[in-house]
């Protein structure tokens, strides 16, 4: 569904795909617009929640000192110095990728019984793969 939501489809695109009935075109364009609006709302809600969490005093009961970046700070070759707000916006609006599996495996590695946890995770993944391979009825 992500590909469909991110596609910028117009009436002409739908007609090229063979969808010619006006009601179908209107319904599809309306559904795509609603899906995009829903994505925007959920992103805004997450952003507000993150901002509240960052500004919450319950996280840091004592003042946290911020140290300014020294002028001599060097950046790796090919990386330009960017404004912190620009980087934050890139991260918040989905332009940064991460591996949820990697994060999950790192978390599992940091607990007692790591071997058992890895075995259980592998078993669950195998079950998921076997479920995905079942034919679906539409």
Establish if 109 belongs to a structural domain. Answer: yes
Angstrom distance (rounded) from CA 108 to CA 86 = 33
Count of domains observed in the chain: 2
Establish if 74 belongs to a structural domain. Answer: no
Establish if 77 belongs to a structural domain. Answer: no
- Encoding tokens for residue 137? 């009825």
Phi, psi (5° rounding) for residue 20? -115, -15
Residue pair 25/14 in contact by the 8 Å Cβ criterion:
yes
Q: Of 54, 57, 42, give the one whose Cα is nearest residue 88.
A: 54
pLDDT, tens digit, for every residue of 105-115? 555 555 556 67
Mean pLDDT over 18-34 rounds to: 84
> Residue 99 pLDDT more than 70?
no
Establish if 63 belongs to a structural domain. Answer: no
Structural domain including 38 reads 1-56
pTM over 0.85: no
User: How far is the first Cα of the chain from the last one, in angstroms, to the nearest whole number?
Assistant: 16
């Amino acid at each position: 569904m992500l590909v469909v939501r991110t596609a910028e489809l117009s009436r002409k695109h739908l007609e090229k795909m063979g969808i010619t009935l006006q009601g179908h075109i209107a319904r599809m364009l309306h559904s795509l617009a609603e899906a995009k609006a829903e994505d925007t709302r959920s992103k805004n809600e997450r952003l507000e929640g993150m901002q509240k969490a960052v500004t919450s005093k319950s996280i840091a009961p004592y003042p946290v000192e911020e140290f300014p970046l020294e002028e001599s700070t060097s950046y790796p070759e090919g990386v330009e110095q960017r404004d912190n707000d620009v980087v934050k916006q890139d991260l918040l609006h989905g332009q940064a990728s991460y591996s949820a599996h990697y994060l999950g495996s790192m978390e599992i590695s940091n607990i007692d019984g790591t071997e058992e946890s890895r075995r259980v995770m592998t078993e669950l993944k195998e079950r998921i793969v076997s479920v995905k391979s079942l034919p679906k009825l539409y």
